[in-house]
Amino acid sequence: DTEVTQTPKHLVMGMTNKKSLKCEQHMGHRAMYWYKQKAKKPPELMFVYSYEKLSINESVPSRFSPECPNSSLLNLHLHALQPEDSALYLCASSQVSFGPAGVSYEQYFGPGTRLTVT
């Protein structure tokens, strides 16, 4: 099974709402990622989890709160978002790399959650 699933597919939320995005994979990957993609732009890395621990936070505002409850699940909790946060949120997973001299791996992406903040 090489599938990464994301729910929901679409989400519309007001600026005062709290919502969560979910991502799941069963490939045994121990690295999981959140990306944000605006229309006609490339994906931008937000967070990286390695062995269920947050290893990279690309200076993302605190209104985005990631969580990795186990090796198969990744959540992104949303609170007090702004309209400019409307975007496609992509989850990905991969095997863990161990540095520039080591083996690197491709990432498997989910279909994304289309988020609209009103």
Q: Which of these ranges, 12-20, 65-73, 77-85, 87-95, lies near other proteins under the rule CB under 8 A?
A: 87-95
Distance CA 29, CA 116 (A): 29
Minimal distance in Å, beta carbon 80 to other proteins?
26
Among residues 36, 66, 78, 110, which is the contact residue for other proteins, using CB under 8 A?
110
Contacts to other proteins from residues 1-30, by CB under 8 A: 4, 6
Q: Which amino acid is at 80?
A: A
> Is the Cα torsion angle 16, 41, 90, 52 positive or negative in sign?
negative
44 binds other proteins (CB under 8 A): yes
Q: What are the helix and strand counts (H, E) for the chain? A: 0, 11
Minimal distance in Å, beta carbon 18 to other proteins?
25
Give the contacts of 68 (CB within 8 A, at least 6 positions apart): 32, 49, 52, 53, 54, 74, 75
Among residues 36, 46, 74, 112, which is the contact residue for other proteins, using CB under 8 A?
112
Minimal distance in Å, beta carbon 47 to other proteins?
10
Distance CA 86, CA 101 (A): 37
Among residues 17, 52, 60, 111, which is the contact residue for other proteins, using CB under 8 A?
111
83 binds other proteins (CB under 8 A): no
